[in-house]
Amino acid sequence: MRRVLILVVLLLCGCNLRQGALTPIPTPDVPHIEFRYPLNNSSVIEGSELTLELLATDAGAGVARVELLVDDLPHQEGKPQVSPAVATFTVTMNWLAQGVGQHSFTALAYRQDGAASPPAMIIVEVLPAPVTGD
């Protein structure tokens, strides 16, 4: 009888531990941002203007601002014009392609309370401008 009781207790404990191990950990409710254009690993000619399109979403409090960094330095910021925060925000930003080589673009979406999205990042390669003969 005692062995059966110990076996039942061990089985119940094992079930509880196993159930706890399978319980998903909730992810924080934060905004989301993605690059719509250009695609990662795109190329652009030095001296030309690159147009970037970003899509930020937040089903909770809404997106209040989007920040774009180029090579980890602040470049441009966008805010919704219709209200202080919106559930879906598409913003277009421009960058003058300077410096031959790879450049990183990082985007973040923020709520009014300062909660930030995980960063979205792409790499763009700036190619040398073609040499023209005089």
Predicted confidence (pLDDT) per residue in 9-46, tens digit: 444 555 444 455 566 655 568 999 999 999 999 999 99
- Sign of CA pseudo-dihedral 69, 116, 80, 38: positive
Domain annotation covers residue 121: yes
pLDDT at 81: 92
Domain annotation covers residue 118: yes
Does the pLDDT of residue 8 top 70, yes or no?
A: no
Does the pLDDT of residue 123 top 70, yes or no?
A: yes
Q: Based on the structure, what is the number of domains in the chain?
A: 1
pLDDT at 29: 86
Domain annotation covers residue 97: yes
Domain annotation covers residue 18: no
Per residue in 59-115, pLDDT (tens digit) is 989 999 999 999 999 999 999 999 999 999 999 999 999 999 999 999 999 999 999
Domain annotation covers residue 93: yes
pLDDT at 27: 55
Domain annotation covers residue 6: no
111 is in which domain, residue-wise? 32-127
Burial label for 132, CB within 10 Å (0-12, 13-18, 19+), is: exposed
CATH number at residue 36: 2.60.40.10
Domain annotation covers residue 19: no
Domain annotation covers residue 37: yes
pLDDT tier for residue 5 given thresholds of 50, 70 and 90: very low
